Structure 1
Amino acid sequence: MAAAPAPSDSNSAEWDWRIKLGLLQKRYGALKNKSERPRDLDESDYDSEDDERDDDLLWKLLRGGYTLVNKAQQADHPDAAEILERVQALNNDLVNLAVKRQLGYAGVKSFADRPGTLVKDAMHSFMGATNGDRLADAMANFLGSLLGRPASPPAGRTLTPWAKHQQPHSASTRLSRFRDGIEFPSPDNHPFAAAVLQARCEVYEDIVSDPIRMAISPSGACLAVISRAGYKQRDPTLQYWLPGDDPKPQQHYVDPRLIATGINIVLDDDRKLMFVDDRDRIKSYSWDGASGRPVHTMNSMKSHDGPLALLPGGRLIRGGMGSALCWDLDALETHGPGPKYKRIGKGKYSWANCMRDRANDDEEEYSTGSLPTTTIAFADKAFEPRTLHPVSGGHVLAGEDPERGYACLALDLEHGGATAARYIGHAGTITGFSTSGGDANAFLTSCADGYARLYDRRAPLPVLTFDVEKRESPLLAAVLAHVDGLPVMFSGGVKSEGIKCWDVRAQKCVYELSTGNTEVAGLAWSDAHKTLYATGGCSHKDWMGAYHGYRDFEMGHIRDSDILGPRKRGEPMEREPFWPDRAIHIENAFGYAYDAGSHVMLSYRFKEQPELDVLPDYGDGEPMDDDWF
Structure 2
Amino acid sequence: MTTAPTTSAGATKRTEWDWNRKLDKLQRRFDAYKDKPAPDPDASDYDSQEEEEEKDVLWDILRSACKLVNMGQATKHSDTPQIVQQVQALINKVVELSIKKHFGYNGLRSFADRPDTLVEDSMHSFMGHPSGDRLADAMSNFMSFFGLPASPPSGRTILPWTKQQQPHPGSTRLSRFRTGVELPSYTERPLATAVLQARCEVYDAAICQPIRMALSDSGECLAVAAHAGYKSRDPMLLYWLPNEGPNPEQNSVEPPLIEPGLNIVLDDTRKLMFVEDIDRVKSFSWADKSGDPVHTLNSFRSHRGPLALLPNGRLIRGGEGSALCWTLDELETHGPDYRRIGAGVYRWDNCLRSLPSDEDEEHSTGSRPSTRITFADRGFFPRIFHLHQPSGHLLVGEDPNRGHACVELDMDHGGAVAGRYLGHAATVADFSTSEGDANVFLTASADGYARLYDRRQPLPVLTFDVEKREGPLFAAMLVHVDGLPIMFSGGRKTEGIKCWDIRAKKCIYELSTGNTSVEGLAWSSAQSTLYAATSTSYQDWIGNHFSYRDCKVPSGTDILPPKKMHNNLYWPDRAIHVENAFGYVYDAGTHVMLRYSFKEQPEPDILPIYGDARPLSEDDWF
What TM-score, normalized to structure 1?
0.91
Distance in 2, matches of 1:10 and 1:355, equals 68
User: Match for residue 173 of structure 1?
Assistant: 172
1:610 to 598, 602, 606: 602
User: Match for residue 187 of structure 2?
Assistant: 188
8 Å CA contact 2:39–2:51 kept in 1: the answer is no
User: Match for residue 35 of structure 1?
Assistant: 37
2:380 to 363, 367, 383: 383
Change (3 A) 1:85 1:530: same
What TM-score, normalized to structure 2?
0.92
1:577 aligns with 2:569: yes
> Which region of structure 1 is more displaced relative to structure 2, 504-513 or 25-34?
25-34
User: Match for residue 533 of structure 2?
Assistant: 535
8 Å CA contact 1:498–1:514 kept in 2: the answer is yes
User: Match for residue 524 of structure 1?
Assistant: 522
Change (3 A) 1:374 1:10: farther
Distance in 2, matches of 1:408 and 1:431, equals 11
Q: Percent of pairs identical after alignment? A: 61
8 Å CA contact 1:306–1:386 kept in 2: the answer is yes
1:13 to 11, 16, 20: 16
Query: Which consecutive unaligned segments of at least 5 residues does structure 2 have?
Result: 1-5, 133-151
For 1:622, the aligned partner's letter is R
8 Å CA contact 1:550–1:627 kept in 2: the answer is no
User: Match for residue 150 of structure 1?
Assistant: none
Change (3 A) 1:245 1:591: farther
8 Å CA contact 1:550–1:580 kept in 2: the answer is yes
8 Å CA contact 2:206–2:592 kept in 1: the answer is yes
Deviation (angstroms), 1:225? 0.5
Distance in 1, matches of 2:48 and 2:574, equals 29
Instruction: Show CA shifts across 1:383-416 (max 9, x none).
Output: 1110111112221100111111111101011112
Change (3 A) 1:299 1:124: same
8 Å CA contact 1:549–1:627 kept in 2: the answer is no
User: Match for residue 307 of structure 1?
Assistant: 306
Distance in 1, matches of 2:15 and 2:258, equals 59
Change (3 A) 1:168 1:41: closer
For 1:564, the aligned partner's letter is L
Deviation (angstroms), 1:292? 0.2
User: Match for residue 392 of structure 2?
Assistant: 394
Instruction: Note the aligned Cα RMSD (angstroms).
Output: 2.3
1:625 aligns with 2:617: yes
User: Match for residue 479 of structure 2?
Assistant: 481
Distance in 1, matches of 2:345 and 2:124, equals 55
Change (3 A) 1:333 1:436: same
DSSP 3-state at the match of 1:387: strand
Q: How many residues align?
A: 592
Instruction: Show CA shifts across 1:78-119 (max 9, x none).
Output: 110101000000000000011111252012110000111100
User: Match for residue 468 of structure 2?
Assistant: 470
Distance in 1, matches of 2:39 and 2:103, equals 17
> Which region of structure 1 is more displaced relative to structure 2, 405-414 or 33-42?
33-42
Matches within 5 A, 1:221-300: 221-300=220-299
Matches within 5 A, 1:72-87: 72-87=72-87
Deviation (angstroms), 1:125? 1.3
Distance in 2, matches of 1:37 and 1:448, equals 24
Matches within 5 A, 1:109-258: 109-129=109-129, 155-258=154-257
Structure 1 segments, 4+ long, off by >4 Å, are 9-12, 36-42
Deviation (angstroms), 1:48? 4.1
Change (3 A) 1:549 1:10: farther
For 2:598, the aligned partner's letter is F
For 2:53, the aligned partner's letter is R
For 1:234, the aligned partner's letter is R
8 Å CA contact 1:131–1:583 kept in 2: the answer is no
User: Match for residue 136 of structure 2?
Assistant: none
Deviation (angstroms), 1:469? 0.4
Deviation (angstroms), 1:357? 1.6
1:564 to 560, 563, 575: 560
Instruction: Show CA shifts across 1:214-234 (max 9, x none).
Output: 000011100011111111100
Distance in 1, matches of 2:24 and 2:576, equals 45
DSSP 3-state at the match of 1:327: strand
Distance in 1, matches of 2:571 and 2:516, equals 12
8 Å CA contact 1:316–1:329 kept in 2: the answer is yes
> Which region of structure 1 is more displaced relative to structure 2, 279-288 or 353-362?
353-362
DSSP 3-state at the match of 2:351: coil
